[in-house]
Amino acid sequence: MRPILMKGHERPLTFLRYNRDGDMLFSCAKDHTPTLWYADNGERHGTYRGHNGAVWCCDVSRDSSRLITGSADQTAKLWDVKTGQQLFSFKFSSPARSVDFSVGDKLAVITTDPFMEHTSAIHVKRIADDPQDQVGDSVLVLENPEGRKRINRAVWGPLNQTIVSGGEDAVLRIWDAETGKLLKETDKEVGHKQTITSLCKSADDSHFITGSLDKTAKACLWDMRTLTLIKTYTSGVPVNAVSLSPLLDHVVIGGGQDASAVTTTDHRAGKFEAKFYDKILQEEIGGVKGHFGPINALAFNPDGRSFSSGGEDGYVRLHHFDSDYFNIKI
C-alpha cells in the first residue's frame, strides 16, 4: 500500500473530511487555509481563503455544494465548494472548535471554546437555502456544565433529534436538539478519564467512536442513543484521531506522543502510526507508518477502500488499500 503524499499546508493538520460521494477530501490546518483535494489521486483542487486563524474543523453538505469551517479567529464560515467564495461568516466571542451539518443540511451545530468570561458552548444555527437569506442568530445555545472545560466535538444524533458532545472534562453528553435538555452523560468510572479529543459516527448513526488522552490511551465505541460503552481499544499512546470503516468491521486510531515529550532517540519513540483494530474482537490487526510527528486527523473514504491521515508534520497521506487488506483474517 503505497501512500500519496499531499503537501499543501504550511502548518500541522487538524481535521479531514470526505464528501458523501468520496471523490473530494477537505483538509483543515493551523495555517488558516482549508484545502480541497481530489480523493482519487491526491491532486489539490483549490483553497478557501478568508480565515485569520487556525482552522479546527469542517463539514461538507450532502450534495457537496457547501462547506462549513470553524476557526480560532472566532468565526465559522460557509463556503461555495465549487467557486471557493465565502457565503457567510458566523461571528462568536471565542474560537469555533467544531462544526457539523445536520441530516438535510438545514441546521449546523458549532461549538465554541471558553474565553475570558465566556464558557464553552454549543450553538445551533439555521442554514438558509439561499445564502442571501442567511442570518447569524442561534436557534439554540447549550452551555457546557463544566464551563471552563472546552467542548472539542459535537455532532448530530439520529434523525437530528439529539446532539452528542465530548471534550476536556472527559464526559460524553446527549442533548435534546429541540429543547436543549441534557438527556444523558457518561460516568468517568466507565468511559474516558482524560480529555476526549475526537469523535466519529458510524455510517448508520447507530454508534460512534471516541479518542482520548487517557493514560491507557484508548478509543471507545459507544451506542449513539444510550451512551452504553460497547468496546474499548487500547493503543498505548495518546489518541488524537479516530475513524470507523464503512465497509468492514475495522477502526483506525492515530495519535502519538508529542515531540517535546519524547525523551529517547528510538525511531519508534513517538509511535506516529495509524493503528487498525478489529471492531468486534478489539484486537490490533495492523498499522501504517509514515508521519514524522503525531497524527492529528483520520478519515475513511465513504466507500471504505481508502483512508487519509493528517499529521503534525503538515502532510496529508492518502492510502488506497490493496487486496490483502480485504482478506485480513484474525
CA distances (Å), 273 to each of 18, 23, 62, 326, in order?
Answer: 21, 25, 31, 20
Q: pTM of whole model > 0.85?
A: yes
Distance CA 197, CA 271 (A): 18
pLDDT at position 266, please?
45
CATH number of 4-327: 2.130.10.10
Instruction: Of 15, 20, 19, give the one whose Cα is nearest residue 34.
Output: 15
Distance CA 247, CA 113 (A): 34
pLDDT at position 292, please?
92
CA 79 to chain centre: 19
pLDDT 10s digits, 239-292: 999 999 999 999 999 998 776 665 443 445 557 999 999 999 999 999 999 999
DSSP 118: B
Q: How many CB atoms lie within 10 A of CB 314?
A: 20
pLDDT at position 71, please?
99
Report the chain's mean pLDDT, rounded to a whole number.
94
Across the beta sheet with 182-185, what order do the strands follow?
A: 151-156, 162-167, 173-176, 182-185
Distance CA 137, CA 132 (A): 15
pLDDT at position 269, please?
53
Domain boundaries, the chain: 4-327
Average pLDDT over residues 223-248: 95
pLDDT above 90 as % of the chain? 88
pLDDT at position 328, please?
82
pLDDT at position 26, please?
99
DSSP 156: E
pLDDT at position 1, please?
83
pLDDT 10s digits, 94-136: 999 999 999 999 999 999 999 999 999 999 999 999 999 999 9
Cell of 134: 442567511
Distance CA 330, CA 324 (A): 13
Cell of 282: 478489539
pLDDT 10s digits, 131-159: 999 999 999 999 999 879 999 999 999 99
Instruction: Name the CA radius of gyration of the chain, rounded.
Output: 18
pLDDT 10s digits, 52-87: 999 999 999 999 999 999 999 999 999 999 999 999
